[in-house]
Chains A and B, each alone.
Chain A
Amino acid sequence: MKRFTLLIILILAAACAAQGEDYPDGEEILRKVDENLVLDRATGISVMIIHARSGTRTIKSRFWVRGDSESFVEYISPARERGKKMLKLGDRLWTYAPEPADRIITISGHLLRQSVMGSDLSYEDMMENDRLVDLYDAKITGVEEIDARECWVIEMVSKGEEVAYHSRRVWVDRERYLPLKEERFARSGRLLKTTSIKEAFQIDGRWYMKRAIFKDMLSSGEGTEYIIEEIDFDVEIPDHIFTRASLRK
């Protein structure tokens, strides 16, 4: 009986010790994640592999990003998509298709939530470059291993009303400050999207994703792979790139 009581006390003590583990400030971790992922100025080439029900499609594009409000994407391949462009200025977004009608379309409101070329990414997701620390309150709730790397588990709840995802759960690499896994939830608590960073690389002391998989959890597709083929940080980007005129150039 004494042994059993001792065992109970030990278990309780271990549990209390675990509860009381001194985790760092969640927002501090998020700030470090933002330092890695939020692009001040960058240009590069990315590949999107869409694993849809109808088959797999690969789309390659070149991108230019300046801060959280300006970005420009030009599709390079396949031939069917070549020449298509996308421009984001603030909360406005335009797409351009040279064929069949040389037309610029304004994407706003609900269209921003539509999937980009049948992928698991919406226009909003694709152009997102906001600082998480500005949008969410963060609290570390534990430590877990993802792909053999130790991660902080951070629960994030939106600070204000006008945020796309009410809450998120991220697994942040304790060493590299990269969110190796992320779950995005609806207000009702329903899981809407997941992101997993499968490969990462370091450039100029900063860790960035090399290959990630995005998955719309409500749809039955197998997700969309997003691969960064090339990226240059802190490069000078001419102002004319972020103008509507550049869509037709």
Chain B
Amino acid sequence: MLVLKLALRNIIGAGLRTWLNVVVLSLAFVLIVWTQGFIQGMQEYSQRALIDTEVGGGQFWRPEYDQYDPLTLEDSHAPLSPALRKLVNDGSATSILITMGTIYPGGRAMPALIKGIDPSQKALNIPAGMLGRVSDGDIPGLIGQRMAKTTGLREGDFVTVRWRDVGGTFDAADIRIAAVVITDMPTIDQGQIWIPLERLREMLRTPGEATLVVVDKDTATVPEAGGGWIFRDQEYMLKEIVEMVKSKMVSTLFMYSLLMFMALIAIFDTQVLSIWRRRKEMGTMMALGMMRSRIVALFTLEGALHGFLAVVAGAIYGLPLFMLSKKYGFPMPDVVDDWGFAIPQKLYPSYGAVLLLGTTLLVLVSVTLVSYIPSAKISRLKPTDALRGKMT
């Protein structure tokens, strides 16, 4: 207790030197928590959006299907197995048929994925119901805002689409854009056009077939599909996004390391200077019977208290900042669209207990360690040398 009282008195007595260290360290602490909160918020949002609009409760794939290789689409379609048909009829899943085609917006040829979806489906958060807006025999199409921007298409426009049917024969038709959907998900938007499933089945001459079947996220038990269909669960489907966010976290590690390094160097410097200037004080304490280990503890504690004060100071101005960020979010620039996963227009951070406690612990432990390293020298100090102001 004596050591703690002494340490507190000493660092408060150090005045501006202490507060400068505390401010620098607290800035590093707050910035780390704030940025990590945004990255966590981004991951949580992306996963949620991916589940809602694409992954659902998992997907059934054809064995040939590779979501990153459109060339596999040609062979990746088959009729639904009885189990899948039942799942779809119950409303617990929805079928999606995909083919590669070419669209001609304004007479310019562009490759595009043509996706067929049931307009009445409820398994995915895609406004497929808008496909019902066009009822006069035209083929209705749904595109996202990125696709609309790339192609210059707007609601009500017609666009010519060319595709090949199951036998490889070309066919072409005009699709009328029923709606342009605003979505954060580039994976259901860029380079694709959604049309009613049954129309696409007719166009490809593949009645009753699908490329994949998406299970509703609330479906409790997923049955065996049979018929060669392979189930890809949520974990499998979200693997990429988790990896991608991890890599973003690793890239921000450099920034954290730099911030912490600057703050810790300041603490280290303060400690070295403090030990050098207080040699006689240490000698006096030893002469009065204070054990070297207690003196080491005193100096280490003085350093460590910088960390504690930094956490307290960080909490004073950081907590309101975190709460405001959580409440109002942070507007994201357009450039993040190119990251390849869902980023909302406003990103809301997520500050979990693990993040807050983990960062606090990181700050306290590293400050204590940095404070101990110069203090350890005291254990080899002779009281006589110390009293004469010598440091060996």
Contact = CB atoms under 8 A, between A and B. Distances in A.
A188 B164 CA distance: 11
22 contacts: A53-B107, A109-B70, A109-B73, A110-B70, A110-B73, A110-B111, A111-B71, A161-B167, A163-B167, A163-B168, A163-B169, A165-B170, A166-B169, A166-B171, A184-B170, A187-B165, A188-B172, A188-B173, A190-B171, A218-B107, A218-B160, A218-B162
B108 interface: yes
A219 interface: yes
A160 B173 CA distance: 22
Given A110-B111, A113-B164, 17 more contacts: A110-B70, A111-B71, A113-B102, A161-B169, A162-B168, A164-B170, A184-B170, A186-B162, A186-B170, A186-B172, A187-B171, A218-B102, A218-B109, A219-B108, A219-B109, A220-B107, A221-B107
A194 interface: no
Contacts of A109: 70-71, 73-74, 100
A158 interface: yes
Contacts of B73: 109-110
A216 to B, nearest CB: 7
A218 B168 contact: no
Contact of A187 (B104, B108, B111, B170): B170
A108 interface: yes
B106 interface: yes
A165 B169 contact: yes
A221 B109 CA distance: 10
A218 B104 contact: yes
Contacts of A221: 107
Pick the most buried of B102, B160, B173: most chain A CB atoms within 10 A of its CB. B102
Given A110-B100, A113-B164, A220 B106 contact: yes
B225 to A, nearest CB: 25
A221 B106 CA distance: 11
Interface in A183-232: 184, 186-188, 190, 192, 216, 218-221
B169 A192 contact: no
Interface string A69-105: 0000000000000000000000000000000000000
Interface string A150-181: 00000000101111111000000000000000
Contacts of B168: 161-164
A220 B104 CA distance: 9
B138 to A, nearest CB: 14
Contacts of A36: none
Contact of B172 (A111, A160, A218): A218
A192 B162 contact: yes
Interface in A104-137: 108-111, 113-115
A240 B332 CA distance: 56
A150 B109 CA distance: 35
Contacts of B162: 186, 192, 218
Interface in B243-268: none
Contacts of B70: 109-110
A186 B104 CA distance: 15
B199 to A, nearest CB: 13
Contacts of B106: 220
A192 B161 CA distance: 11
Contacts of A161: 167-169
B171 A219 contact: no
Interface in B130-185: 160, 162, 164-165, 167-173
A71 to B, nearest CB: 20
Interface in B61-110: 70-71, 73-74, 100, 102, 104, 106-109
A162 B172 contact: no
A113 B163 CA distance: 10
A164 B170 CA distance: 6
A158 B169 contact: yes
Contacts of B100: 109-110
Contacts of A166: 169-171
Nearest to B170: A186
A216 B70 CA distance: 23
Given A218-B104, A218-B162, A220-B108, A188 B74 contact: no
